[in-house]
Chains A and B, each alone.
Chain A
């Protein structure tokens, strides 16, 4: 969320660096708790979940080592040994899948905490700004629900304008927070946890998940920061009455997100922090060229010039042929594969080393 819509206002959008899948993201600074919920405790829950991952891996590593020492040529052989080894392999796969699911849940909750902290932080900043211009702000950040009659003095006129602005801002912030919570709930509910009730085949289900683990865990490009940035931008669009904001929010919980974002990228409405969202198709093209040439400029030119993929380029990119950095913008993380953890298959590409190199050359 930014305060760009403030009267005479403006400020840098908050962003967090991608920090990997198993470390909790830094929250935006805030002092109160105006939008509801315990944001720091939500972040702590993400840290707790992240902490389980290496612990479970430690257990399986220790057991892997034991099994390696036990079973094999010149060791334990025979029908019983084979049956045990097969059964253990399946359980080890199940443990791997469970770790991945826990990590995904951690990412979603981490992203939720980051997004809420940004809204809270920016709401507090907005309140301070409105208050400094004379707008009356109640406890817990609520604007006074009054309509100040514009007075005759400059100060009273200014206070009336800023109160009206803050009333709108406050409502939007609360609405944004609720939408982000709903989106995160949808993502958590969408994680493919198998049941553990009587008769449920949880091990087989987890093994099946493990076999397609790339589509479950995504590419680990810092999905938390990605969602945080994207939801923040979407919030801004929503506040500005742009329906694309709602569309972005909705897309976060659906498959084929990148393709649809590419389609969105053709809209003038998708203005992200002064930059333009580059469609997934163009990005894929860029990385492909980069893989061959290791030339970011050439890759960018090819990407924005590619008309073979109709949804792949932004109107800005097409029109200006700008370098890829200028069309993707600093929110490079928003196209990171971490969101793949939420949207499922089809984004494994973003895990590629070439993509990372490309992003590093552009943004590094």
Chain B
């Protein structure tokens, strides 16, 4: 599909949208939102630092997952928009074709 300064392979767009969706879910499941469990390392100072670090890792990984999921949704939306446009254009084309088609001559009644 192309036109107006763009081109797009609809199947690629659909495939990429699916991939972003599935990979974002993989990312989301990779690191718990609060980070992995932190063991007792022997002092409150280091335990606190480890907690803080892993919770940031968890939060950033979730944020990254959401960003990738957003890409997937936008790609799917782009696919739908292009597809809708294609359908609309096809419909318009059909309507125009129909409208512009030569009207068959109405048979005159015999004897009139």
Interface residues of A, Cβ cutoff 8 Å to B: 35-38, 41-42, 44-45, 48-49, 52, 55-56, 59, 62-63, 66-67, 69-70, 74-81, 84, 87-88, 91, 94-95, 98, 101-102, 105, 109, 112, 116, 177-178, 181-182, 184-186, 188-189, 191, 193-194, 196, 202-203, 206
Q: Interface readout for B8-46 with A: 1 if CB under 8 Å, 0 if not? A: 110011011001100100110011000011111111011
Contact with A along B94-111 (1 / 0, CB 8 A): 000000000000000000
* Contacting residues, chain A, for B76 (C-beta < 8 A): none
Query: What is the predominant secondary structure among interface residues of chain B facing chain A?
Result: helix
Q: Is the CB of B67 within 8 A of A91?
A: yes
Q: Which residue of A lies closest to B4 (CB)?
A: A78
Distance in angstroms from A105 CB to nearest chain B CB is: 5
Select one of A35, A48, A56, A70 contacting B13, CB under 8 A.
A70
CA distance A203 to B41 in the complex (A): 31
Q: Provided the pairs A45-B50, A62-B23 are in contact, do residues A52 and B41 lie with their beta carbons within 8 angstroms?
A: no
CB atoms of B27 and A194 under 8 A apart: no
A151 and B39 CA atoms in complex are apart in Å by 46
Select B71's contact among A48, A87, A102, A105, beta carbons within 8 Å: A87
Considering only residues 83-102 of chain B, those with a C-beta below 8 Å from chain A are none
Q: How far is the CB of A284 from chain B (nearest CB, A)?
A: 32
| Chain B residues near A87 (CB-CB < 8 A) | 71
- How far is it, in angstroms, between the C-alpha of A98 and the C-alpha of B13 when the chains are bound? 27
In contact, A91 and B68 (Cβ under 8 angstroms): yes
> Which residues of B from 41 to 74 have beta carbons under 8 Å from A?
41-43, 45-46, 48-50, 52-54, 56-57, 59-64, 67-68, 71, 74
Can you show 17 pairs from A to B with CB atoms below 8 A apart?
A37-B42, A38-B40, A45-B54, A56-B64, A59-B30, A62-B19, A70-B16, A76-B7, A76-B13, A91-B68, A109-B50, A112-B41, A186-B49, A188-B46, A188-B50, A196-B63, A202-B63
Q: Report which residue of B15, B20, B41, B62 has the largest number of chain A beta carbons within 10 angstroms of its beta carbon.
A: B41
**B6 with A81: CB separation less than 8 A:** yes
Output the nearest chain B residue to A40 by Cβ-Cβ distance.
B39
Least CB separation from B5: chain A residue: A78
Residues of B near A196 (CB, < 8 A) are 56, 59-60, 62-63
Interface contact A45-B38, CB-CB below 8 Å: yes
Return B52 CB to nearest CB of chain A, in Å: 7
Beta-carbon contact of A67 and B16 below 8 Å:
yes
Residues from chain B with Cβ under 8 Å of A49 in the complex: 36, 54, 57
Residues of B within 8 A of A185 (CB): 43, 45-46, 48-50
What separation, in Å, do the CA atoms of A84 and B75 have in the docked complex? 8
A81 to B9, CA, bound (A): 11
CA distance A70 to B76 in the complex (A): 13
Task: List residues of chain B with CB within 8 A of the CB of A37.
Answer: 39-43, 46
The 5 closest A-B pairs by CB, nearest first: A78-B6, A37-B42, A41-B39, A185-B49, A36-B42
* CB nearest to A62 among chain B residues: B23
**Contact between B5 and A182 (Cβ–Cβ < 8 Å)?**
no
Which residues of chain A are within 8 angstroms of B52 by Cβ–Cβ distance?
188-189
Chain B residue nearest to A90 (CB atoms) is B67
User: A193 touching B53 by the CB < 8 A rule?
Assistant: yes
User: Are A56 and B30 in touch, CB under 8 angstroms?
Assistant: yes
Partner of A182, one of B27, B43, B53: B43
> Which residue from A67, A109, A178 sits with its C-beta under 8 Å from B43?
A178
